[in-house]
Chain A
Amino acid sequence: MSRQPISEGSEWSFELIERYDREIARVAADFGLDTYPNQIEVISAEQMMDAYSSVGMPVGYHHWSYGKQFLGVEQRYKRGQMGLAYEIVINSNPCIAYLMEENTMMMQALVIAHACYGHNSFFKGNYLFQTWTNADAIIDYLLFARNYIAECEQRYGEEEVELVLDSCHALMNYGVDRYRRPSRLSAERERVRQREREAYLQLQVNELWRTIPIKDAAERERVEQRFPAEPQENLLYFIEKNAPLMEPWKREIVRIVRKLAQYFYPQRQTQVMNEGWATFWHYTLMNQLYDEGLVTDGFMIEFLQSHTNVVAQPPYNSRYYGGINPYALGFAMMSDIRRMCEEPTQEDIRWFPDVAGSDWIKTLHFAMRNFKDESFIAQYLSPKLMRELRLFSVLDDDANDMLEIAAIHDDDGYRRVRQALAEQYNLGNREPNIQVHKVDLRGDRSLTLHHTQHKRQPLGESSDEVLRHLARLWGFSVRLETTSEDGHVELTHECLA
């Protein structure tokens, strides 16, 4: 190739960013990446810290926990314990990506490829994001949320609002619908409906307050059925709809936190895939630019150095080991799928008949669209990769004195290791399974939760405090019963109002 490189030096300019972006967009389109339009914003390091500490939301309501986050980030950054993320990208339409002004030209190009084409296409393509989030409306909704909460602070006082938010945050992970399809977010509609909802909700909870005596025995039978009829997994939703004494504005705040939890839920389920996909594409796109002669050798070496850092995976006995690096695993798996498509071995053909030898772009896109971490690993982790990463599975059973190596990267172990790794990314197992079991309608209106134990794992020590938060929202006593694996039910936590 005799083409002229886009730039030589390490300084960036807006003009250069534009030219790189144009080239990367062209190459990305050739590879079939389908993206939302991009909005690239250049920000300073301080602004990056701000963005960081508000979990990447461009607009957020005020809460001390974000301040804590900020102080932590600031401290670590200033002491050099941590580099800032090179980019933050927001699942919105247009897709907003932040570039830091300190970055070199190479880093800006890398970030554009990674965020604006990698993550962006993942947001647009993956089924979880498609189902659970609405990229068109999120910014508007965030704005609505912030204004609403600010208004509440004015009306009811910062402390009051803070108490509600604290309690909601404690239950945030239990504010998502895992199975039911959510209704779409629309800030416009939210605003219009919010008022009437307030009034309506207050009417609805009166079910809990009905004191008219019931004459008919058959009717009593019906009424004394358990409430709720089915266990409810979405605690915040249940509170929003059923907490007996909650003021309407508090219900609205519960709803806001719940909606945000739902918005972030897909991200928590697709860490490996999302990062792996973005890393795979920045790697592929940059190499394509290099092959076309658009970037220099120096650029490429700087890029490779940075890329290598990102996908480094220290072994279990290294002092730098901090669990599996999602970038490393994701990138390795994406690259491995491409390899299996292009140069399948006998083993691949045996293990992955559908993948081996297929069109790699199509296969990769299919994988990106239709899986989450758990199923992606269960489906695509190949024996070859397990050998390369030298994965092994350790069984820690508190009934035994010693740890047991359950399986390693050999013929007998592949399936077990893969299964264990997939399980490790199953949010349903990582978080305790806690559901609303019943409300004592006829008695003290106490709320009972059921915790179904997973592999005899008990609840962590902060559970009592979470329960206090729940009791604050619910307004009456809250109990938590634990069902062990053999079906034995026991009252483990209690918070009396």
Chain B
Amino acid sequence: MSAIIDRRLNGKNKSAVNRQRFLRRYRQQIKDAVTDAVNGRSITEVDKGERINIPTKDVGEPIFHHGKGGRRESVHPGNDEFVAGDRVQRPPGGGAGKGGEASKDGEGEDDFVFQISREEFLEFFFDDLALPDLVKTQLARITEHKMVRAGYSSDGVPTNINVVRSLRGALARRIALRSPLERRLAEIEQAIDAPESGDAHDAKRADDVCALREEARKLRQRIAAVPWIDTFDLRYNNRIKQPKPTTQAVMFCLMDVSGSMDESRKDIAKRFFILLYLFLKRNYERIDVVFIRHHTIAKEVDENDFFHSRETGGTVVSSALELMYEIIRERYPTNQWNIYAAQASDGDNWDDDSPRCRELLANAIMPCLQYFAYVEIAANTHQSLWREYERVQSLYENFSMETIASAQDIYPVFRELFKKQAA
């Protein structure tokens, strides 16, 4: 009789460990593949899982085997035209199944192809990137608490009674209260049992013994009356709430949506910000993101509008910086927040406005910021804004600027801006 077992309820991820080991072993190759993939993706697809190609020879497991050449005879089915002694051309590349055996899996693929999940994709994607200088921790707006043990207390709820501690206390108390009585009792008993010394004192001694016996009886009563456990002995596990300090950070995303930003530039800018947004969401649990779009006037918008609306107009970059400064003053006191900003623009600005941007940045904004990243997209020649920003950069170390010429540059530039800095 066969045993029939339903194993479906057993875990199905038996291979998870092996899979992880494979991913770890080929980390570099996978990372390269991820980078390639991102450059070719449209905005909405950036954070999907990915098909990874690794050249088969890289993942091969070497064995001793016969190479090409020599003399070999092989048998094939389905003869339809040959007779013994026929000579035929070697098929190119071992086609038609002749000449040499088929490759190991019966298919001669050049690449080892497999799928990684969205999570894994992002992990490879943002590997060793970090926000620089995330230092200010702040304790005012604490929302998270952690319960920690804090010794024992003499009051609490019955569920928290610590049995060992309570009984230890009880034992100590019993010893402390009983031992003087027991010592006295021992003395009395010794006195009672003492051998009689002479007849003359018989009567007195009898009285004494009587009194002693009475005292011993009382002592025994008192000893028995010491309670085995008392409410006084009870000890409770004490737990207290401890605030968990968390780092607060806010990222300002400033995007130029003016008329000079054509569709392809906007696309690049959006991709850059999507990367940034994914990176922040994935790596920092508590982070505020403020989206600001601007043409001649700046506006704070939500995520959806930021990436999808198609408003347009002229360009006044300082409008965005002013709005940002205003928001910082209103909502993000610098002593409590780590503040970051990333700005994307094509560098086109009203000429009079660029010096104003520099002043704003240099005098007002930069002192508040942890880091400011400026990317200029597909600019043919650098205009006044870039030159003014260069002056800001010379003043502040935590101000960095890069240019993105085409979609392929997005990821490298992003990495450059946010690579982990040696502590």
Contact = CB atoms under 8 A, between A and B. Distances in A.
A154 interface: no
Contact of B66 (A98, A413, A458): A458
Size class of the A contact interface (CB-based, 8 Å): 35 or more
Contact of A403 (B63, B78, B83, B88): B88
B20 interface: yes
A462 B56 CA distance: 13
B102 A323 contact: yes
B51 to A, nearest CB: 8
Contacts of B8: 42-44, 47, 101
A170 B12 contact: no
A478 B381 CA distance: 62
B44 interface: no
B72 A457 contact: yes
Contacts of A399: 71
Size class of the B contact interface (CB-based, 8 Å): 35 or more
A315 to B, nearest CB: 2
Contact of A458 (B6, B17, B70): B70
Nearest to B90: A403
A457 B70 contact: yes
A67 B64 contact: no
A390 B84 contact: no
Nearest to B72: A396
A379 interface: no
A342 interface: no
Given A101-B8, A406-B84, A66 B90 contact: no
Contacts of B72: 395-397, 455, 457
B69 A316 contact: no
A25 interface: yes
A11 interface: no
B196 interface: no
Determine chain B's interface SS by DSSP, over half rule.
loop
A395 B12 contact: no
Contacts of A172: 63
Determine chain A's interface SS by DSSP, over half rule.
mixed
A72 B61 CA distance: 14
Contact of A396 (B3, B99, B105, B113): B99
B82 A405 contact: yes
Contacts of A21: 2, 4
Interface string B160-173: 00000000000000
Nearest to A75: B114
Interface string A405-418: 11111101100010
B73 A394 contact: yes
Interface string B386-423: 00000000000000000000000000000000000000
Contacts of A404: 85-87
B284 interface: no
A461 B22 CA distance: 24
Contact of B70 (A456, A461, A462, A465): A456
A451 to B, nearest CB: 8
Contact of B10 (A47, A463, A466): A47
Given A50-B12, A457-B67, A459-B67, A17 B75 contact: no
Interface in A28-80: 37-44, 46-47, 49-51, 53-54, 62-72, 74-75, 78
Contact of A420 (B73, B79, B96): B73
Given A70-B15, A317-B78, A396 B71 contact: yes
A324 B101 CA distance: 10
A469 interface: yes
Interface in A443-486: 453-463, 465-466, 469
B195 interface: no
B18 A39 contact: no
B75 A37 contact: no
Interface in B31-58: none
A7 interface: no
A460 B114 CA distance: 27
A392 interface: yes
A402 interface: yes
Contact of A67 (B2, B6, B15): B15
A323 B106 contact: yes
B358 to A, nearest CB: 52
A174 interface: yes
A293 interface: no
Contacts of A72: 105, 112, 114
A67 B21 contact: yes
Contacts of B112: 68, 72
A465 B114 CA distance: 25
A316 B79 contact: yes
B70 A398 contact: yes
Contact of A14 (B6, B67, B68, B69): B6
A256 interface: no
Contacts of A322: 97, 102, 106-107
A434 B102 contact: no
A403 B22 contact: no
Contacts of B10: 43, 47
A396 B66 CA distance: 14
Contacts of A40: 2-5
A315 B78 contact: yes
A424 B74 contact: yes
A75 B116 CA distance: 10
Contacts of B97: 316-317, 321-323
Contacts of A297: none
Given A396-B72, A424-B75, A432-B66, A68 B15 contact: no
B76 A391 contact: yes
Interface in A300-334: 313-318, 321-324
Contacts of B59: 68
Contact of B67 (A51, A397, A410, A461): A461
A458 B66 CA distance: 6
A469 B66 CA distance: 18
A375 interface: no
A391 B76 CA distance: 6
Interface centre among B13, B25, B66, B77 (most CB of A within 10 A): B77
29 contacts: A18-B2, A25-B2, A39-B2, A46-B12, A46-B13, A50-B13, A67-B21, A74-B114, A173-B64, A174-B64, A316-B78, A316-B97, A391-B75, A391-B76, A392-B75, A394-B76, A396-B74, A396-B100, A398-B68, A404-B86, A406-B73, A430-B66, A431-B66, A432-B66, A455-B71, A455-B72, A460-B65, A462-B64, A463-B64
Given A315-B80, A392-B79, 10 more contacts: A40-B3, A66-B15, A70-B15, A323-B101, A404-B86, A407-B84, A420-B75, A421-B75, A456-B70, A460-B64
Instruction: Please name the 6 residue pairs, one residue from A and one from B, whose CB atoms are nearest each other, closest first.
Output: A315-B78, A67-B22, A457-B70, A67-B18, A462-B62, A71-B114
Interface of B: 1-8, 10, 12-15, 17-25, 59-80, 82-90, 96-102, 105-107, 112-115
Interface of A: 14, 17-18, 21-22, 25, 37-44, 46-47, 49-51, 53-54, 62-72, 74-75, 78, 94, 98, 101, 116, 158, 162, 166, 169-170, 172-174, 313-318, 321-324, 389-399, 401-410, 412-413, 417, 420-421, 423-424, 430-432, 434, 453-463, 465-466, 469
